[in-house]
Amino acid sequence: MTPLVDAHLHLFKPHSREYPRRVYEVMAEESREELASELLTAMGANGVSHAVVVPLGNGDEYLREVIATHPGRFAGVGLYDHESPQDLSVVRNRCELGPLQGLRFYGLNGRIGDRPTDLACWPILEFMAAEQLVLWFYGDSTQITILRDVLRALPELRVVLNHLGFLPDIHAEMQFDSFRRPRFVVELPPKGLVMVEELAAEFQNVHVHFSGHYAFSQEDYPFKDLIPVSRRLLDAFGPTRLLMATDWPWIREAPGYEKLLTLIDHHLPDLAPGDRANVCGGNALRLFDFSLV
């Protein structure tokens, strides 16, 4: 039986000199902590064996502790912060120490017409492609156009589009709801979905998260207004390039961890058992080595 894998979530300590991270005044204020112990309880209650942890900043201190303390359970994807860029030697060291198996980019900090090799982060992208690290991508329509050009230059680069492949301007458009969860007001289906479908058709190494419904839906769980989006993503990526994820801890209170894990059965009820197993774990197990400590 294929293990269940939660392919995207966040754990963090209170912001401090020892544990630096990005601070969000509503959902991740300076004093908030979300520790592995509580997550592991939720994972155990729901049969989830592994998870991919993404820190909120480019400090990997707590992530390293989590991976070392719970060997075999977690894989790490660090953050590459365009506002505090790091050179290749620093990134390489972070990946070795983490150990990090990918880096999350909020876009590529480029403009339409830029050549991929002119991007400030180009050396990092080259390194990631060579080392088979995964690019965790969350950006707007301009940035996904630039990503397309990067992939044409680095066709071996593996990519996971975050949260259904929606393309918001994170810093300009993100709001928060009454549960302190990220919230985006967007039209459905999103205009950028066609661009995501085209990217999926051109590049077989591009994957997408089955996650983040709560942030874009105009309805409560099970977010029925996003069923057409879920089905189009399945059509575009197939069952081998779709990764189930919960986005813990933002969803712990509403709709709850268990409900997020079974959302796939509301949106894609006709998946064959083997295809469901791929989406819910097999695809993540092919992208990540959970034995690294």
pLDDT over threshold 90, residue 104: yes
| Average pLDDT of span 191-218 | 97
Instruction: Summarize pLDDT for 133-152 with one digit per residue, the tens.
Output: 999 999 999 999 999 999 99
Instruction: Summarize pLDDT for 213-260 with one digit per residue, the tens.
Output: 999 999 999 999 999 999 999 999 999 999 999 999 999 999 999 999
The C-alpha atoms of residue 98 and residue 141 are separated, in whole angstroms, by 31
Q: Which residue has the higher pLDDT, 85 or 275?
A: 275
Nearest by Cα to 9 from 42, 45, 275, 95: 42
How confident is the model at residue 25, as a pLDDT? Answer: 86
How confident is the model at residue 44, as a pLDDT? Answer: 98
How confident is the model at residue 145, as a pLDDT? Answer: 97
CA distances from 178 to 181, 183, 246, 256 (A): 7, 10, 18, 15
The C-alpha atoms of residue 9 and residue 162 are separated, in whole angstroms, by 11
Spatial CB neighbours of 218, under 8 Å, sequence gap ≥ 6: 188, 225
CA distances from 213 to 144, 174, 208, 224, 248 (A): 20, 14, 13, 10, 13
Domain ranges of the chain: 4-287
At residue 157 the predicted structure's pLDDT band, cuts being 50, 70 and 90, is very high
The C-alpha atoms of residue 120 and residue 85 are separated, in whole angstroms, by 9
pLDDT over threshold 90, residue 161: yes
CA–centroid distance for 135 within its chain: 9
Instruction: Summarize pLDDT for 7-64 with one digit per residue, the tens.
Output: 999 999 999 999 999 999 899 999 999 999 999 999 999 999 999 999 999 899 999 9
The C-alpha atoms of residue 176 and residue 160 are separated, in whole angstroms, by 24
Backbone torsions φ then ψ of 28, nearest 5 degrees: -145, 60
The C-alpha atoms of residue 53 and residue 3 are separated, in whole angstroms, by 17
Compute the CA torsion angle 54, 38, 241, 194 (nearest 10 deg). Answer: -70
pLDDT over threshold 90, residue 106: yes
Q: What six digits make up the tokens of 32?
A: 């908030």
At residue 172 the predicted structure's pLDDT band, cuts being 50, 70 and 90, is confident
Domain 4-287, CATH class in plain words: alpha beta
